[in-house]
């Protein structure tokens, strides 16, 4: 018997012709992650203690390497400061390779001059001052006007002169002075070794300056590299102008101080001039400090010499502020006086005179970053 399958009924009007799609399987709920502190307090405490021990070990290692790290920073600052000199040679028709070689030769010549001329001169000047200042103080006390001036100042002048005499006869003062000039807080031998190490590092950094910058720029993503390179080059150039300008102004001050002290017959003129070079690397307050020191020593030598030195140094301060500084610094960043004082105090507290010298350029670099990067972005919003 033949079975006939009945025809399918037509779909009702308005009814769906296709079956509804199957619902997508729901993802399994992700369980909330329990913090490590709650899951395993012992493991959490162990990791925290291990991190603290690692931080302490790292801090001790950096503290042990502080002199080397500080020398590296000085070499980097010297490299950035010498780059404007290399560019100056390039602007006068010299290729960059020969300009780098010329600067390296000048550095080597400077190192040889320091070893063969400056160091013996400083040692002889220290010995001469150690004997000359007590004799000058004794002669000053024998002057007829000294007793009247001391009585007019209620004994303050006599106490000050006595303090100067005691300091001049103190071996710790001259030892500390020699360390500050030659060794940056170390002995003379260690200072020369450190200086040689800094010069060698500076020579290496100068020779590989462009390659090092390009390698550092490659660490930045390509999409932001052009902008980063533009800002970095502007900041480095301004930073280099600032460092080189500080050195040039300090050199002018040192030469002027030596000529002035030699002309007035003040003993230890060359030693004071070398010290003035390092002190006047600190802007704003360096020239004031050297003026005070030079005037006091010149006054002890002779009241007339003291007045002459004070007047001529005040004139030089005006010339430096209104003529030399605008010419030498040019477009370099200007550091506010309050920032200079704070940076000098903080740097000298940490590392003495070298710390003050390094802290101010770092502050100048931060100001450059704020002016070149932060302010334009704030204004663009």
pLDDT tens for residues 127-161? 677 677 677 767 766 666 666 666 666 666 666 66
Higher pLDDT, 23 or 195: 195
Using the predicted structure, report yes or no on whether residue 55 has a pLDDT greater than 80: yes
List, in sequence order, the alpha helices (H) in 94-221. Answer: 96-113, 119-141, 144-152, 156-168, 171-178, 188-207, 209-217
Quick: pLDDT tens for 244-295: 888 888 899 999 999 999 999 888 888 888 888 888 887 777 888 899 989 9
What is the percentage of the chain residues whose pLDDT exceeds 90? 6
Quick: pLDDT tens for 277-287: 888 887 777 88
Using the predicted structure, report yes or no on whether residue 43 has a pLDDT greater than 50: yes
Band the pLDDT of 312: cuts 50, 70, 90: very high
Please state the length of the chain: 381
Using the predicted structure, report yes or no on whether residue 182 has a pLDDT greater than 60: no
- How much is the mean pLDDT over the chain? 76
Residue partners of 68: CB distance under 8 A and separation at least 6: none
Quick: pLDDT tens for 334-364: 677 777 778 877 877 777 766 776 777 778 7
């Amino acid at each position: 018997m033949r079975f006939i399958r009945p025809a399918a009924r037509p779909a009702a009007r308005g009814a769906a012709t296709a079956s509804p799609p199957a619902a997508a399987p729901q993802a399994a709920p992700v369980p909330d992650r329990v913090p490590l502190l709650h899951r395993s307090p012992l493991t959490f405490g162990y990791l925290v203690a291990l991190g603290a021990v690692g931080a302490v070990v790292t801090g001790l290692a950096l503290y042990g390497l502080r002199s080397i790290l500080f020398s590296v920073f000085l070499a980097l600052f010297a490299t950035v400061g010498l780059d404007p000199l290399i560019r100056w040679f390039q602007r006068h028709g010299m290729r960059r390779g020969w300009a780098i070689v010329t600067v390296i030769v000048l550095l080597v010549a400077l190192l040889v001059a320091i070893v063969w001329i400056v160091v013996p001169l400083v040692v002889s000047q220290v010995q001469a001052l150690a004997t000359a200042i007590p004799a000058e103080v004794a002669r000053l006390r024998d002057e007829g006007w000294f007793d009247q001036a001391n009585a007019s100042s209620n004994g303050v002048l006599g106490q000050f002169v006595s303090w100067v005499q005691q300091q001049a006869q103190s071996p710790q003062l001259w030892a500390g002075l020699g360390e500050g000039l030659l060794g940056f807080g170390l002995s003379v031998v260690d200072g020369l070794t450190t200086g040689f190490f800094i010069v060698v590092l500076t020579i290496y950094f100068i020779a590989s300056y462009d390659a090092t910058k390009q390698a550092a720029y490659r660490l930045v993503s390509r999409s932001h590299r052009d902008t980063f390179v533009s800002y970095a080059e502007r900041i480095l150039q301004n930073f280099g102008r600032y460092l080189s300008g500080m050195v040039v102004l300090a050199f002018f001050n040192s030469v002027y101080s030596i000529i002035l002290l030699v002309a007035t017959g003040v003993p230890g003129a060359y030693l004071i001039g070398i010290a003035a070079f390092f002190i006047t690397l600190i802007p704003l307050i360096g020239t004031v400090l050297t003026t005070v020191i030079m005037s006091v020593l010149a006054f002890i030598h002779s009241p007339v010499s003291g007045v002459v030195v004070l007047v001529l140094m005040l004139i030089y301060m005006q010339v430096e502020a209104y003529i030399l500084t605008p010419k030498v610094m040019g477009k370099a960043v200007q550091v506010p006086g309050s920032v200079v004082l704070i940076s000098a105090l903080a740097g000298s507290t940490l590392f003495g005179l070298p710390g003050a010298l390094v802290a101010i350029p770092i502050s100048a670099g931060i100001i450059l970053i704020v002016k070149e990067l932060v302010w334009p972005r704030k204004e663009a919003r």
